[in-house]
A and B are shown apart, each in its own frame.
Chain A
Amino acid sequence: MDKTININLGGILFQIDEDAFRILRDYLQAINNRFSNSQGGHETIEDIESRIAEIFQSQKGIAGVISKENVESMIAIIGKPEDFDPGETEFGAPVYINQKRKMYRNTDDTIIGGVCSGIAAYLDSDPVLFRILFVLAAAFFGTGFLIYLGLWIALPAARTESQKRAMYGNDNHSNRSLTRNTDSAQITGPTGYNRTSRIGNAINEVFRALGKVCYIILRIFLIMFGVSFVLMGFLFILCYILIFIFKFPGVFSMDSSGVSLIYVFDFLKYIVNPATVPWIIILSSIAFILPMLALIYWGVKMIFWFSARDGVVSLVALVIWVMSIAVLSIIGFNEGISLAETGKTTIKNVLPKSPDTLYVATDHKIADLKYDKQITLPHEEYSVFLNDDKKELYIRPYLSVDRSEDKISRIEVRKRATGRTDPEATAKAEALIYNYKFISDSLKIDEYFTIPAGRKWSADEIGIHLYIPLGTVLKFDEQSRIMVHSHFRDGNEDYLQSNWESGTGNWVMTEDGLEPLRDKFVDKK
């Protein structure tokens, strides 16, 4: 037996068949959409409702129950909202008529996000079809999964009645629910858009279960990501504060060479115009901390799965961030100009004699140097030592040993600096202070060179190039050994490198370059 429903229309009670009720409800909803936004619309709606009541009252059947036929003839008398007046504009934008079909996520029929049922509604098809398609596509390296995720984000959810109508397209919707729902006495939800066959329903149930599992897995992943985002954000901010504000040593080192970042800001005044230093510090703090805060916020959002009206705040934050980066770039560019040109100067000397064994030792050592701070640049063995009292900077030069073409030992000191112009850079290079001396069999070199007091750092570099004849044995002390850049015999570099680092300091010059002395003996056997 069919169910009947009691309704109150225009102050009069009616009993109405369930299928008739659905049509009536859709019809009233359409009228509501048509008039509710216009001036005096509610009065019009009331008028029409009481007219409906009047019509029902006059044609009530024997049993006193309003049937589907009653409702349909009533609609024929009063007309569908889109027939009221096709050209009407003075009543405000028509909500219902001539509406283009749009793609939404169908929130009334969801397994994960309602994407499939939304597409099905848009294409007038069955959601099961698309569910199967997506699962199949997901088997191809997760393509389906990605597309689904993209659509989930891109498609808006059909929440309001008018959006739901737009999802199904113009007037198809009420007709469809009319024809479909009359054969099957099934009620799916408050809005009852059911358009799936029995087999489809069974498949849908399977999908629904799978969907729940997927959803739970997704949530777990999101929470995991969220937690790690929050942790990462906090950790980075903590590191930033510890390193740059509290200068807590040893918190953070970029690699095994022990790059220390804690004095970067102190070093700044030796590189750039000191007046810009506070700005650089503030701006780079913003540039670093803002994204971290955003990361934390995203994490929290992912964990608790909420949506907030954060568009304006996000936009403002983004603008501030971009601006801070932009200003930093401008400052960087301005200061970078002063490092634009590179000047070089080379001082060449011939050693008074070429001993069979040459001792390379350091004279003035960094260990004996009075300095306040040390900055090591990442990935280069390039350390700068600061003495804030003397306003002096000390840098370790590199030592390179190559074979001399003849029997004479030579030493070249190559100085390099940068400046705004070429002559300025050359003048700076020439002004770098570096000492070495040759006593009997020993070459005594300083472990550092000095940038004259008060002068800013400008990528200064000194290279000591030593050219010695074939067969000369070299002995390095601890410090000078560190200064040597790897200029080894070709091939087998790793072996030589490790030998060098742990080596005794006895090396010999061969045709191809330096190699460990004991290696030579091994070769002879």
Chain B
Amino acid sequence: MDLENNKAQMRKGILEYCILSVLSRNSCYASDIIRELKEAEVIVVEGTLYPLLTRQKNAGLLSYRWEESQQGPPRKYYELTEEGRKYLADLDKSWKELVESVNLIRTR
């Protein structure tokens, strides 16, 4: 068994959930999301995030607006859509269930 691979698979499973959770507190730039995720050690490199943001945006969970930046090109300012909030609520529920299931098995 490849532990690293297993960990990567776990992180991958919750990554989208984490992105939506970060955005549920307040709208922010991609670099803000990256910082939070890096601090939580959910991601290692930034490149991981961009394709996920694009996909969630295309799925209608996120929307963004352009904001000028003093340093560098204009940035995308992401926020959750109404659909995104519903989706996140569903994910919250299934996350709780998942944690309960795992705990149940581990403490038995």
Contacts and interface: CB of A to CB of B under 8 A. Distances in A.
B86 interface: no
> Which among B5, B48, B73 has the highest number of chain A CB atoms within 10 Å?
B73
Question: Counting chain B CB atoms within 10 Å of each CB, which of A47, A56, A58, A88 scores highest?
Answer: A47
B21 to A, nearest CB: 19
B36 to A, nearest CB: 16
A77 B9 CA distance: 21
- The interface size bin for chain A is 20 to 34
B54 interface: yes
Contacts of A10: 72-73
Interface of A: 10-12, 31, 35, 38-41, 43-44, 47-48, 50-51, 53-54, 56-58, 76-81, 83-88, 90-91
A39 B50 contact: no
Contact of B51 (A56, A78, A84): A84
A148 B35 CA distance: 55
A57 B72 contact: yes
B5 A40 contact: no
Given A81-B47, A83-B45, A85-B48, A53 B73 contact: yes
Contact of A43 (B47, B54, B69): B54
Interface of B: 5, 8-9, 12, 30-31, 44-48, 50-51, 53-55, 57-58, 69, 71-76
Given A50-B73, A54-B69, A84 B12 contact: no
A51 B12 contact: no
Contacts of A76: 45
A83 B49 CA distance: 12
Given A58-B72, A86-B5, A51 B50 contact: yes
A48 B54 CA distance: 11
A78 B47 contact: yes
Contacts of A83: 44-45, 47-48
A44 B72 contact: no
A471 to B, nearest CB: 105
A47 B72 contact: no
A52 to B, nearest CB: 10
A86 B69 contact: no
Nearest to B13: A87
B47 A40 contact: no
A363 to B, nearest CB: 102
B73 A35 contact: no
A58 to B, nearest CB: 6
A412 B50 CA distance: 103
Contacts of A35: 51
Contacts of B58: 39-40
Given A54-B73, A57-B71, A47 B48 contact: no
